[in-house]
Amino acid sequence: MYENGETEPGEGSYQQGGSKEGGADRGQGGARARGARGFRPHRRVCTFCADKVDTIDYKQVQVLEHYLTERGKIRSRRKTGACARHQRRLALAIKRARHLALLPFTAGIARGTG
């Protein structure tokens, strides 16, 4: 910095338009923030709220299977898009269906004989 308060070229402050290193500006969401392809996740809507479902029935196995992985685990809210209330009710219905042997606890893995 010079004595009169001016800065040298390449010694700019962060407030005057960008970073020192010449990368993408933080406020404008450059390539770093969006990724290489500009991926922006969309907000998933809870299907139970959209259909105005009051109760999730443990006997509806076809509905419950959509919320299980191929290994038999319950999918997370991030993956399914269910709200917190319906995710809790969904987990309870899946556990009830498992207890009554309507759904498997785990995926059937074929074991070798060796």
Q: What are phi and psi of 74, to 5 degrees?
A: -80, 130
* The model's pTM: 0.60
CB 106 within 8 Å of CB 71: yes
pLDDT score of 94 more than 70: yes
pLDDT mean over 59-88: 94
Looking at residue 54, the DSSP 8-state letter turns out to be -
| Closest by Cα among 45, 67, 77 to 95 | 67
How do residues 78-89 score in pLDDT, each as one tens digit?
Answer: 999 999 999 999
Q: What is the pLDDT of residue 107?
A: 80
Phi first, then psi, for residue 47 (nearest 5°) are -70, -30
Q: Which domains does the chain have, with CATH numbers?
A: 47-99 (4.10.640.10)
Cα–Cα nearest to 88, from 38, 27, 52, 46: 46
Give mean pLDDT, residues 59-74: 94
